[in-house]
Chains A and B, each alone.
Chain A
Amino acid sequence: MRDDPLIFDQSQPGRRALAQAPLHAPAVDDIPDELLRREPPGLPEVSELQVVRHYTRLSQKNFSIDTQFYPLGSCTMKYNPRGSNALAMLPGFLDRHPWAPELHSQGVMACLYELQEILARVTGMAGVSLTPMAGAQGEFAGVAMIRAYHEARGDRARTEILVPDAAHGTNPATAVMCGYTVHEIPTGADGDVDLEALRQALGPQTAGIMLTNPSTLGVFERRITEMARLVHEAGGLLYYDGANLNAILGKVRPGDMGFDVIHMNLHKTFSTPHGGGGPGSGAIGVGERLLPYMPVPVVAKEADSYRWLTEADLPRSIGRLSAFMGNIGVVLRAYVYARMLGREGMARVAEFATLNANYLMHRLRDAGFQVWFRDRRASHEFIISLKREQKELGVSAMDFAKRLLDYGFHAPTTYFPLLVPECLLIEPTETETQEELDGFVEAMVSIREEAARDPDYVRGAPYTLPVRRLDEVRAAKRLDLKWTPPGAGDGETEA
């Protein structure tokens, strides 16, 4: 596989993309010398074709939904409609300045308002704010609202957030960012939260609980109504982590389960692109009692026009989480998706995501792989454990994951949740065909056969990608975080 030199290695002094900068620039003689930079910034000097070719070639080194089946558990890698992208990038939307007056903003505000309404309906919540810029920021907003609610009632004894041990890492990290301590609740052998442990943990110190349902173990928390009752009786509030909302969209609503606040990953359930790690959008929904605390701004409709609700309208708001109104470009993509689906399409999301997951789970089980919760229904995702393959063949879940790449499949989530040994968390999503799922099963079977014949071969995978397995220990130990010009040392720093 070819090497692509860094853009800096292709740089020649004096070369540039001439069409892209102003032809002339005025002298900057009104800024004192001591405020100006002495050396030009270290940017590459290359032609436009060099740039286009370089980044096109780099793009070809990525796996993506558009090129591969991408069954990454907990990430909902479903088709990102091209129509959503094209329509969110219409010039009228792209060129709108965030401080443009409401008079010049009624088009975009109509979309935002309608999406707020749609999201409130499908989640069973009383109000929605679209401003959080990612799932983790939505979590932050949610827990900050819980805190604001308790403080407004003068209840300062609540210092603790409960988090099941299977939760995403963002949950405990968020609770700490909101000034809480974290109390972990164990999971029972059947995959549901240990209800007795929950009872023990609840008390006057409990601010709330953060829950994903279905959980990261790929199963629905069957006693959720009971849990909600217990937490509410103890004076706490329930926070719903929307990472797995795709599993229930159109079937069950978090509001009906008893949740007080939720965040939604629009980049998962509403099919906006993940972009190689963002941008996301972490819209939040709240029940009646948290309405006054929503992050601002929020869009309101008055007669036939729309206006921003700000701190002046919501004086108890937890405030602003971004300089402007959040990731509106992402929100517009979600809006287009929601309108194309409509109520009949939305009702089918969970159904087909669940059908695909249960089908794939059964196929893998029939092929002899160990499904972790074999007596449970899969939600939109499920876990297999390769503990036996590890023990008998000496080939780990990571080895399977890397070898899958050679077969042209992105690997499932590996080693998460942490509770299950040698696990793969597999989420096929509703947009994949049966044929694609069958191909994945065949690849898994084939890799196991390879491992039985020649485990070293599987342990050496991948073979067909731009690089083979990378030395991550070296990466962390001999830090090389930027290119340095030749002769300026090797750029590495010993840790």
Chain B
Amino acid sequence: MPFIPHTQDDVRAMLDAIGAGDPECLFDEIPAELRGVSLDGVPAGLTEQAVARLMRERAARDAGALCFIGAGAYRHHIPAAVWELTTRGEFYSAYTPYQAEASQGTLQLLYEYQTMMTGLTGMDVSNASLYDGASALAEAILMAIRANRKAKTSRVLVAGTLHPIYRQVAEAIVGAQDIRLETLDIPVRNGALDVQRAGEPGEAAAVVLPQPNFYGRLEQIDALTDLAHRAGALVIAVVNPTALALLKPPGDWGQRGADIVCGEGQPLGIPLSSGGPYFGFLCARQAFVRQMPGRIIGRTVDMDGKQGFTLTLQAREQHIRRSKATSNICTNQGLMVTAATIYLALLGPEGLRRVAAVCHGNTRRLCELLCAIDGVEPVHDGPFFHERALRLPRPAADVLTRLAEHGVQGGYDLGRHDDSMADCILVCATEVVTEEDMQQYAGLLRTVLEEMGA
């Protein structure tokens, strides 16, 4: 039987020690009418060799496309060392580090991770991860409502330029506590918030600001941050960690800086893997550390005065505080953070800056090539980072389907969320894309549009 080591002699000896006649006796407390289930419909067991053959065929079926999609998940080079180290059994098959003395490897790594994330975001403190970027935003919103003791409201205002899926996830999670999200009343012009035409937002507990936003556009983030602070709100920044190698860190936004920062950690060494497992990061100002959800690692000393690391501030957590915890989160995404920490150590500040700059340069180049085609044009002007909306002369969904039939994933269909953008796609070219890849895409798009009579 797979992975069960018992010989028949073992079973006999163990049952004798227990004083049981046969294994079924061990279940005699379970009412008889519940026992003896049928597993019909579950396929017969396979050897690893047979499953490997099946999985290789299936993986190969999905492989080989040229991908220009971003929209929340980004294809980057991942150094070989990242996953060679991350899948070492000592990281891979360990539990949450409750027994600190037997978990110093993971704990020190998480402390290093917290330091790296505060460095990238310009914030004081970081937790040890949440599930993904979108659920991290939900946790950030709940945290802001707890932390903003001055606000007499639990109104949360969300920029209209936030990734629509992030908003849906946040609503599904915070909505269960009857918290409603409202759209920040600032007109969207040219794909970004037109802060010059903003009214006063009225009192709010928190304002959610993305940078870059869903369309890849860069917001006038200093003015927006100050505006939110004038309304007595805490500012929740939703950011891309690769972009932070180039862009102003949220800790420096406006007069006072953002209060809580969250986002998707996937760009930092995590494979696309169909959307998960990724990890959400969450950083904040020191004053809010006790309102943070999730694990936090602290440095301390042992009985001999030697440095060591341990889970800390556990009185916030569900296993201690139960119904009064800051969140129900228990398991987080420890192994993903292991990969991200190794990735950031390998890239360093200069490596990450180069990755960000090449991604941005490639996206500019791609847009230049695609917009040379008749009828293809940028939807928005103004500064952007590594992602851009383009308008096509034909419905986006049809064009993307035709491109896919030729092995090119040409972008994200913006018509999914906005009928007025049914002819628009969001494209992204990261550092792994070559000039030849982009030429191939442009050539194919030209052909496809001609075939479609554009």
Among B13, B23, B102, B349, the one with the most A-chain Cβ atoms within 10 Å of its Cβ is B102
Cα(A92)–Cα(B20), bound, Å: 49
Whether B148 sits at the interface, judged by CB under 8 Å, is no
Smallest CB–CB gap between A441 and chain B, Å?
A: 11
Q: Which residue from A85, A354, A434, A472 sits with its C-beta under 8 Å from B13?
A: A434
A34 and B105 within 8 A (CB): no
- A56 contacts partner chain B, Cβ-Cβ < 8 Å: yes
A360-390: CB near B (< 8 Å → 1, else 0) gives 0011000000000000110000000000000
A323 touches B41 (CB 8 A): no
User: Could you give, for residues 419-435 of chain B, a 1 whenever the CB lies within 8 Å of some chain A CB and a 0 otherwise?
Assistant: 00000000000010000
Would you call B331 and A280 a contact (CB within 8 A)? yes
Interface string of B163-179 (1 = CB under 8 A from A): 10110110111011110
Whether A480 contacts B299 by the Cβ 8 Å rule is yes
> Is the CB of B196 closer than 8 A to any CB of chain A?
no
Q: With a CB–CB cut-off of 8 A, which chain B residues contact A325?
A: 274-276
* Beta-carbon contact of A51 and B342 below 8 Å: yes
Separation of A417 and B249 alpha carbons in the complex (Å): 44
A322 touching B169, Cβ below 8 Å = yes
Q: Per-position contact with B for A222-260: 1 when CB-CB < 8 Å, else 0?
A: 101100000000000000000000001011110011000
- Nearest-neighbor residue (CB-CB) of B298 within chain A: A475
Cβ-based interface call for B306 (8 A): yes
- Whether B15 sits at the interface, judged by CB under 8 Å, is yes
Q: Is the CB of A22 within 8 A of B358?
A: yes
**Does any Cβ of B come within 8 Å of A195's Cβ?**
no
Q: Which residue of B lies closest to A94 (CB)?
A: B271
Determine how close the nearest CB of chain B comes to the CB of A210; give it in whole angstroms: 11
Within the assembled complex, what's the spacing in Å between the Cα atoms of A493 and B285?
A: 12
Q: Which one, A198-206, A335-343, A443-451, is touching chain B?
A: A335-343
Whose C-beta in chain A lies nearest to the C-beta of B42? Answer: A343
The verdict on B206 contacting chain A, using a C-beta distance below 8 Å, is no
Let me know if B94 and A25 touch, CB within 8 A: no
What residue in chain B is nearest A317 (Cβ atoms)? B172
Q: Is the CB of B58 within 8 A of A107?
A: yes
User: Is residue A7 within 8 Å, beta carbon to beta carbon, of the partner chain?
Assistant: yes
Name the residue in B3, B303, B306 with the highest tally of chain A Cβ atoms < 10 Å from its Cβ: B3
What residues of chain B lie closer than 8 Å to A275, measured between beta carbons? 91-94, 333-336, 338
A22 to B360, CA, bound (A): 13
CB-CB under 8 A for A134 and B131, given A222-B29, A468-B302: yes
Q: Is the CB of B91 within 8 A of A59?
A: yes
Docked-complex contact A83 and B168, CB < 8 angstroms: no
Contact B73 A106 (CB under 8 A): no
A131 to B85, CA, bound (A): 27
What residues of chain B lie closer than 8 Å to A342, measured between beta carbons?
42-46
Is B85 in contact with A56, judged by CB distance below 8 angstroms? Answer: yes
- Chain A residues with Cβ below 8 Å from B289 are 479, 481
- The answer to whether B372 has its CB under 8 Å from any CB of chain A is no
Q: Which of B28, B322, B342 contacts A173 (CB 8 A)?
A: B322
Query: In the complex, which of the residues B55, B312, B321 contacts A475, with contact meaning CB atoms closer than 8 Å?
Result: B312
Q: Which of A37, A340, A355 is the one whose CB lies under 8 Å from B11?
A: A355
Kindly supply a per-residue 1/0 record for chain A positions 465-476, scoring 1 wherever the CB is within 8 Å of any chain B CB and 0 otherwise: 111111110111
Please state if B119 and A43 are interface contacts (CB–CB under 8 Å). Answer: yes
- In the complex, the answer to whether B30 meets A405 with C-beta atoms within 8 Å is no
A83→B48 contact, CB < 8 A: yes
A358 near B20: Cβ-Cβ < 8 Å? yes
- A471–B249 contact, CB under 8 A? no
Specify which of B97, B272, B353 is in contact with A96 (CB 8 Å cutoff).
Answer: B272
Chain B interface residue count, Cβ-Cβ cutoff 8 angstroms: 199
Q: Is B358 touching A324 in the complex (CB atoms < 8 A)?
A: no
A215 CB within 8 Å of chain B: no
Q: How many residues of A contact B (CB 8 A)?
A: 202
The complex places the Cα of A347 from the Cα of B77 at a distance, in Å, of 42
Q: Which residues of B contact A75 (CB under 8 A)?
A: 95
Interchain nearest-CB distance for A232 vs B (Å): 16
Across the interface, do A61 and B28 meet the contact criterion of CB distance under 8 Å?
no
Per-residue A-contact encoding for B152-186, CB less than 8 Å = 1, 0 else: 00000000000101101101110111100000000
| Set B95, B301, B324: member contacting A474, Cβ < 8 A | B301
Is the Cβ of B45 less than 8 Å from the Cβ of A100? no
Q: Does B308 contact A (CB under 8 A)?
A: yes
Q: Say yes or no: B69 contacts A97, CB within 8 Å.
A: yes
Known contacts being A17-B351, A22-B354, A98-B275, is A321 close to B173, with CB within 8 Å?
yes
- Assess the B135–A324 pair: CB atoms within 8 A: no
Tell whether A67 pairs with B271 under 8 Å between CB atoms, given A20-B347, A329-B277, A330-B276.
no
Question: Do B51 and A35 touch across chains, with their CB atoms under 8 A apart?
Answer: no
Given contacts A277-B332, A434-B6, contact A65 B89 (CB under 8 A): yes
Q: Are A107 and B108 closer than 8 Å at their CB atoms? A: no
**Taking A56-B85, A342-B46 as contacts, is the C-beta distance between A136 and B330 under 8 angstroms?**
yes
A344 CA to B45 CA, complexed, in Å:
7
Q: A97-B67, A252-B37, A481-B297 are in contact. Are A177 and B58 (CB under 8 A)?
A: no
Q: Which residue of A3, A61, A476 is within 8 Å of B105 (Cβ)?
A: A61
Decide if A155 is an interface residue (CB 8 Å cutoff): no
**Alpha-carbon distance A350/B36, docked complex (angstroms):** 12
- Distance of A250 Cα from B169 Cα, bound (Å): 34
Q: Which residues of A contact B383 (CB under 8 A)?
A: 30-32, 35
| A179 / chain B contacts, CB cutoff of 8 Å | 176-178
- Report chain B residues within 8 Å CB of A431: 3-5
Return chain A residues, CB-CB under 8 Å to B276: 98, 133, 279, 322, 324-330
Residues of B contacting A480 in the complex (Cβ-Cβ under 8 angstroms): 298-300
Chain B's closest residue to A282 (CB) is B331
- Find chain B residues with CB under 8 A from A442 CB: none
Contact A41 B244 (CB under 8 A): yes
Question: How far in angstroms is the closest Cβ of chain B from A296?
Answer: 10
Q: Are B134 and A323 in contact (CB under 8 A)?
A: yes
The 3 closest A-B pairs by CB, nearest first: A324-B275, A342-B45, A66-B89
Q: A54-B345, A66-B93 are in contact. List 6 more A-B contacts (CB 8 A).
A: A56-B85, A63-B90, A92-B60, A96-B62, A222-B29, A253-B37
What are 5 of the A-B contact pairs (CB < 8 Å)?
A44-B116, A252-B27, A278-B131, A279-B276, A355-B15
